[in-house]
């Protein structure tokens, strides 16, 4: 898996101060995507064990001030990103069980829960921003997403109650 960047003090992508990883690879090809360079899974740099350790070291150093981790792209749920991210999240969650994890996906929640591969990654996270960016439904006032069709979903509650529970409207 490649990544296009890591933002170590991100206050835009999720709640609180976060570390955001922007991975490469996306199969959704949304019209007017803000980040089309990252559609190519070879864009950016390899997400090596060294990079993983840098992120973990940052969380250790700034543990008190960082609320959690955000996974964006590209698409973290792009087929070739799932295994490496599951592997990284296993390490991350073992080291920092109290930190929350937000994930953005071009797939809808309904598609994710029907696909065990997608779910294997998404169920490790707390909040999902789902669905493709639709230029026709673009709204600059929305929090954490670009178009009205996208939802901010509480993953744990949705799985527990077997219905789609939004984190915010």
The tokens describing 131, both together, are 């669905």
Q: Of residues 133, 150, 151, 167, which one binds ligand SF4 by CB under 6 A?
A: 133
Nearest in space to 99 (alpha carbons), one of 77, 71, 131: 71
- Report in angstroms how near the CB of residue 115 gets to ligand SF4 at its nearest: 16
Could you say which residues in the range 60-89 bind ligand SF4, by CB under 6 A? 73-75
Q: How many residues bind to ligand SF4 according to rule CB under 6 A?
A: 13
- Report in angstroms how near the CB of residue 49 gets to ligand SF4 at its nearest: 25
Sorted by sequence, the CB contacts under 8 Å of residue 82 that are 6+ apart come out as: 117, 118, 120, 121
Could you say which residues in the range 94-113 bind ligand SF4, by CB under 6 A? 106
The C-alpha atoms of residue 12 and residue 5 are separated, in whole angstroms, by: 15
* 132 touching ligand SF4, by CB under 6 A: yes
- Report in angstroms how near the CB of residue 129 gets to ligand SF4 at its nearest: 10
Percent of the chain as helix, strand, coil, to the nearest 5: 35, 25, 45
The C-alpha atoms of residue 129 and residue 28 are separated, in whole angstroms, by: 15
- Report in angstroms how near the CB of residue 31 gets to ligand SF4 at its nearest: 9
For ligand SF4, give the closer residue by CB, 31 or 162.
31
Q: Of residues 26, 85, 128, 153, which one binds ligand SF4 by CB under 6 A?
A: 26
Q: What is the residue whose two structure tokens read 């071009």?
A: 106
The C-alpha atoms of residue 37 and residue 73 are separated, in whole angstroms, by: 10
Chain centroid to Cα 31, Å, comes to 20
* 35 touching ligand SF4, by CB under 6 A: yes
* 29 touching ligand SF4, by CB under 6 A: yes
Would you tell me which residues interact with ligand SF4 (CB under 6 A)? 26, 28-30, 33, 35, 38, 73-75, 106, 132-133
């Amino acid at each position: 898996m490649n990544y296009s960047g890591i933002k170590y003090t991100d206050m835009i992508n999720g709640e609180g101060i976060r570390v955001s990883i922007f991975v490469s690879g996306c199969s959704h090809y949304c019209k007017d995507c803000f980040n089309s360079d990252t559609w190519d899974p070879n864009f950016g740099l390899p997400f090596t064990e060294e990079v993983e350790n840098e992120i973990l070291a940052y969380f250790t150093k700034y543990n008190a001030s960082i609320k959690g981790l955000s996974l964006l792209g590209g698409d973290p749920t792009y087929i070739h990103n799932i295994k490496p991210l599951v592997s990284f999240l296993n390490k991350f969650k073992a080291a920092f069980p109290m930190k929350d994890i937000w994930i953005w996906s071009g797939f809808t929640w309904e598609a994710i829960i029907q696909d065990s591969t997608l779910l294997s990654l998404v169920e490790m996270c707390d909040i999902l921003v789902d669905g493709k960016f639709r230029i026709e439904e673009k709204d600059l006032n929305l929090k954490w997403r670009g178009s009205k069709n996208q939802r901010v979903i509480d993953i744990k509650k949705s799985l527990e109650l077997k219905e789609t529970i939004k984190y915010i409207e």
